[in-house]
Structure 1
């Protein structure tokens, strides 16, 4: 499935950190989370995102995949990202 951002999420940079605001909740992203958020563009699948992240970071593909899947699951559960 293609992943897209919820247009109702407010995105702010505060003291160098990317912060997402949705439904009265703040989500502070680290550098990896920020990369994932940027790549969720309504054109890529979860597999595409994992492949792109493997190109950016020198880590085990299985570990990257597991981490990205968990992070995306949280974003979907909380309504910041949806599958289309």
Structure 2
């Protein structure tokens, strides 16, 4: 929920799963691997949808992407 913007965000099951994964910083590859272990879908589809979701979170100011040198 963003009080400043007056917006409420509702996540579906997969979005909620991704949100919980983000409690610890993770790469897109790590998120895709984790989702692929749970959901029966092609990895390419999981990656595309996860990337789109993360992009939307970033655009809405709900996610900060940090680039590190660590693997």
| TM-score (norm: length of structure 2) | 0.83
By percentage of residues, which structure has more helix?
2
Find the residue that maps to 2:26 and give its secondary structure.
coil
1:28 to 3, 10, 15: 10
Count of residue pairs brought into register by the alignment: 64
Is 1:45 aligned to residue 41 of structure 2? no
TM-align CA RMSD: 1.0
The runs of at least 4 consecutive aligned structure 1 residues that moved more than 2 Å come to none
| TM-score (norm: length of structure 1) | 0.71
Name the counterpart of 1:18.
Answer: none
Is 1:76 aligned to residue 31 of structure 2? no
Distance 1:43 1:78 in 2: 18
Q: What is the CA deviation profile of residues 14-33 of structure 1, one whole-angstrom value per residue up to 9, with x for unaligned ones?
A: xxxxxxx0232111101111
Ranges in structure 2 where 5+ consecutive residues have no aligned partner: 67-71
Q: What is the CA deviation profile of residues 21-71 of structure 1, one whole-angstrom value per residue up to 9, with x for unaligned ones?
A: 023211110111100000012421111111111111011100011000000
